[in-house]
Structure 1
Amino acid sequence: MDNTILEKALGVAGFAVLVLDDKDRVIDISLPAARLFGVDQRDLIGKPVSDFLPLDPATVGALDQTAIQPPGVVAEITARTKDNRELVVAVNAVRWIGPDGRRLTTLFVRDAALEKQAARRKHSQLVQSDNAIRGARIGVFEYDPATDSVSVSDIWRCMLEILPDEQMDVQQEWRSRVHPDDVQIALEPISLCLEGHTERASCEYRLHSRDRSHWKWMRTDIAVAERSPTGRPSLLVGAQSDITERKATEDALRVSVEQFRSAFYNASIGKAIVEPDGRLRLANPALCDMLGYSESELTSRTFQELTHPDDLDDDLYCLKSLMEGEISSYNLEKRYYRSNGAILWGRLSVGLVRNANGEPDHFIAQVVDITEQRRLDELKNEFVSVVSHELRTPLTSVLGALALLEFDHAQFSDEVQRLLFIAKTNGDRLHNLINDILDFQKFTAREMRFSLVGHPVARLVEDTLMANLALTDMYAIRFSPPPDHRALIGLVDPKRFHQVMANLLSNAAKFADPGSVVATTVEPDGPSIRVSVTNVGPGIPDSFRERVFRPFSQAASLSDRRSGGTGLGLSITKQIVEQMGGEIGFASALKGQTTFWFTVRRGD
């Protein structure tokens, strides 16, 4: 072969090669070798190798032995580069006889530092892999199909509760503890690999604990590691892991899903899973029956198509607030179209489920059919309206007649005057009750119209105090006007604001200790204005607090102090405040202060 071609081949391959004569002088050197020592190839030709690569006596002695053939003598030597830098190299030395009969030596030189660095990296990777396997509690094993024998790691033994130095047939122990129903499953991956169906396979099976007290779930992954010259698998390697906790989680999740499906499909009220764009993903039989559709028909529609146009904006507004995180859920009474075009009233409750990224995934909607309830409410409201109007006309005449008699009461005896007073008092109570019932019916049906304009709230409170001064004499109390906050402008309907304040002042006066002060305050509260009325008295019993704003509710322990109360005042007050865009609440201490407060939106 042409030496030039050989030299180029050695150079491309990166082999550092030197050829020495029988005097150990360099007669040829490859380019990579010259680069390794930092010299030009021509600079080393004819020079003793000991000038830059001193061979130790042991290496020289070994080379002097006869018949030194590859791989020859291996040594690690400290050499010196042209700039006198130490260089640790690994040398393979082979002595041979040249064509002219001379004894020649070939040195194959490698940078030992690079090899050690590579070895350290490999060792580090092996350590990391071993630590990862130990940390992950993965048991490793090898299976030799020729001898039907298996070797296992300590972690594999630990999984089977076998001590590292315990002498036993681990293969037989493993087979005896696999669940009888899972034996074929556990052995199938080995069969698949040995029969050439796949390079790797896995299975999951149950394994008895060593004391046979419980079952553990195992997962085994097997792969072909080596093949014989004929191509048949000669070695299989496997990894075994304990997946008992994962299986328990999966079982719990499966039970949870089944419970949800059962609760969803067997519920007596309508339920649906709704996509963010409004499409119905799932609908239960109750909702299908309610709206007159099959499930496939219903899930091909959106809730927008099913909703009455007049109710859609309110629903979409609540939905937007829910998706933006402003509210956690919402309830709404709305109308739906049935499949036959009929209107159905439903009480809708909606919650939002987000995905792992916090983005809206789907809505859970519940619908209760309240069509009959709405019909009865309309009948009730109509009845109340008719009865109230029918009572008001004759009652007005009766009160007018009583007023005339009272005007000329001097001609009547004391007993007659007492009876006239009782009749007039009860007539006024009945008149107030009729007015309250009509107001309550209008507010409940949201038929009352509000004219919201900007007003100084403190001024309105002062006007209400002046209009209700009669209460101070009636109950022997005093009113305290609010501090000067005239700059606070509220968005209110003045007439309804006075109605709210009159109800709160009347309640506070009735239940205040004689001689005490009923205080009012007006103060900013973020985007709202907060108005408070506070008295000192017996307070609100704990048992009554949940019913304070319910219609016709009165605390039994306080009823003897009320003067003709209808039980509708606070309920009407709550309706007015909320329909003006505010909130209402109270705080009370028994035999102490009671404060009722409400908010109005700022109008400045």
Structure 2
Amino acid sequence: MFGAFIIACGTTHVMDVWTLWYPSYWLSGLIKAITALISVTTAVQLLPLIPQALALPSHAQLEAANSQLATEIAERKRTEDILRESEERWQLALRGNNDGIWDWNIKTNKVFFSSRWKEMLGYADNEIENNLQEIWIRVHPEDLDSVVKAVQNHFAKVTSFYATEFRVLCKDGTYKWILDRGQALWDEAGNVVRMVGSHTDITERKQAEETLSEILAQLEIKVEERTAELKRINESLEAEIAKRRQIEKALRDSEERFRTAFHQAAVGIAHVGLDGRWLLVNQRLCDIVGYTAEELESRTFQEITHPDDLTTSLKYVDEILIGNIQTYTIEKRYFCKDGSVVWINLTVSLTHNIAGEPNYFIAVIEDISDRKHSQAQIQASLLEKEVLLKEIYHRVKNNLQVISSLLNLQSEYIKDKQDLVIFQQSQQRIASMALVHEKMYQSPDLARIDFGEYIQDLVTSLFSSYEVYEGAISLRFNVDCQVLLGLDLAIPCGLIIHELVSNSLKYGFPNGGDGEIFIGISEKVEQQFTITVSDNGVGLPPNFNFKNTASLGWQLVDALTQQIAGNINIKINPGVEFQITFPLI
């Protein structure tokens, strides 16, 4: 029994050490209970042997034995306390560590999984058995080979530490990324006997890495796009730089041409400040006024402008500054350096800066002194010719009136009524031509007369000659445009109207009574005019053809119409209407 007691005590100590690695507390407690039972039984068995035992050793020997036994008990107690404290710290560390802990016994192929290891995968503590197969069946198939390779490399001491990342199947069917780390233990023969490690949930980190990878991929795409865009921009910039260089060269060439044209121009060109000071002048302007460029640029345009022209010049400057006009051209006088006066034709425009504010004036000066002198001579000559022309018109009119008066005097000696009528008609025709020269004499334009005004005076004179009383036959005019005719058209047209109105007055209203004569002038198309003469009298005889009549009046109308390159159209319904259309040539 004593031997059994010793073996039981030894087994208890071995179990204390065993529970440090494998918490088999029920087995440990059972062994301790058996040890206690054996110790009690041994003690009972030893009671009859006490006398015999007392007889065996001496008192000193027993004290020494007791002392040694007490020491052993104390040491055992201290060891038990240390082991219990170590076991408590180990259990506390397992519960407090966020990582899962595992311990793999290579020989038995058993694996201890901590509660946190199981909890990380969503399992309860009793749902996973402690064997290696539990982990292998949960590793993602795509990661299994890499995990096996990492373990083999560590066992072969290719890597000093085991570490790998892989996916593990959770209880809910999802996968978690795990960082698995461990360290193997080798025996004296170099064989792996044990491997202890931990695994950490890195799912969030992996998701972040995947998100980061996607972002980086997108950034890479954007960088590529940006690079391509920058390349295109660079190419555009290079093309723009080349174009700009061409433009700069063109500008330099243009500036050189401008300088050449500016200084060698046949007219004076200048830049003038807003205060009137000459900023830049060319040689031609200096030649016109007799100043050097330096002398002129120290002055203002007001200083060399003739006083009589200065007010007009300043008014135009104000108008162009306030934006009422863009440019202006005037003729004015400048004082030359030698005191003489030169006539110039001045054209001025205003330049603006980038902000749109007035910058300076550009002036173009042309010497027109010779032209002014020629114009004065021409004006004097024209005035002389105008006086002479008016005198001619006046004399022709007087001569025609003299002829008309002679015909009137001669008609007093004519006894035949038919001859008298012929004389009176001739007198009236001469009067119509005299009226044309009178209108020419009175017209501001000595070459043309207002034909509408002339026709009204002519017809009024005819009404007076035929002694048409007011109210008997009315006269209506419609002139919708101003027609200015020279002698070559005014006289033929006047004679045509004279003949047509005379016929209406003589033959249109044989029975008397009320009637109307209408005279109209209109522009049919551009430079094509129509003269209309109509009345509401008895009209013309049937089958009338004025071209075949022997009447001088109708023959005169036909000849004059052809003379002005016109054509005549006759309408009868009622009365008669004549339309003479002719070009204004």
| More strand, by proportion | 1
| More helix, by proportion | 2
Q: Which of the pair has more CA radius of gyration?
A: 2
Same fold, judged at TM 0.5 (above):
no
TM-score by length of 2: 0.41
TM-score by length of 1: 0.40
